[in-house]
Amino acid sequence: KAGVTQTPRYLIKTRGQQVTLSCSPISGHRSVSWYQQTPGQGLQFLFEYFSETQRNKGNFPGRFSGRQFSNSRSEMNVSTLELGDSALYLCASSEELAGFRGGNEQFFGPGTRLTVL
Amino acid sequence: AQSVAQPEDQVNVAEGNPLTVKCTYSVSGNPYLFWYVQYPNRGLQFLLKYITGDNLVKGSYGFEAEFNKSQTSFHLKKPSALVSDSALYFCAVRDLPYNTDKLIFGTGTRLQVFP
């Protein structure tokens, strides 16, 4: 199976702009999560989607939003970009295993490197 | 609240020597623990996980981890390090409730293997 894919791989934006990042999960995976990785804050959870519904949300401002489509592909959007939004944004997918809650691993994509100038 | 700690920012080891990357955890309920590795300009790769059962878990690329409930630790180990093992390693714990996939990550440990 193909792995998790993310597009684009690199983005350069300026403050105030908005950006949309895309993620295609592993075929058959219906759960998609997003994380932000920065040198200062490490890996921080943004949100999680399952069957087009947001199942969990991290502690980020409302400028960060996401959605999931019926084919499990997901997008995240950041509006009114700030310098501090510069980061590697990672998408991860997992397979929902019946009766195995909590123990399923997530598979990560290569990330989108966002630079805000 | 669930949390993990990686006490070492960097671990240096000579090729061929055994390596250990440390992780301690603090959880409510059952600890579902994971190790991931990140190579430069890449995403995270899953190495192994502890759910239940044997305290010694074997994973990818010859890595294994030892779960120790009394010491609340989940250290990553490899009997013989390779230069290609040099990377950033993350320990993670599943958040509560267990109907989420959210992982809580440690701060990461950079492993440097010298020839």
Distance CA B6, CA B78 (A): 17
Predicted confidence (pLDDT) per residue in B14-31, tens digit? 999 999 999 999 988 888
Does the beta carbon of B98 lie under 8 angstroms from any beta carbon of chain A? Answer: yes
How do A74-78 and A64-68 pair as beta strands?
antiparallel
Distance CA A11, CA A23 (A): 15
Note whether B46 contacts A107, CB cutoff 8 Å: yes
Predicted confidence (pLDDT) per residue in A10-45, tens digit? 999 999 999 999 999 999 999 999 999 999 899 999
The alpha carbon of residue B14 and the mean position of all alpha carbons in its chain are separated, in whole angstroms, by 19
With a cut of 80, say whether residue B85 has pLDDT above it.
Answer: yes
Q: How confident is the model at residue A88 (pLDDT cuts 50, 70, 90)?
A: very high
Identify residues of A whose CB sits under 8 angstroms from chain B CBs.
Answer: 4, 6, 31, 33, 42-43, 45, 48, 50, 55-56, 58, 90, 92, 94, 101-111, 113
Task: Point out the residue among B30, B43, B102 whose CB comes nearest to the CB of A56.
Answer: B102
Which tokens belong to A6? Answer: 């993310």
Distance CA B38, CA A87 (A): 15
Tokens 């006490």 locate to B7
Residues on chain B touching A102 (C-beta within 8 angstroms): 30, 32, 51, 94, 98
Predicted confidence (pLDDT) per residue in A36-86, tens digit? 999 989 999 999 999 999 999 999 999 999 999 999 999 999 999 999 999
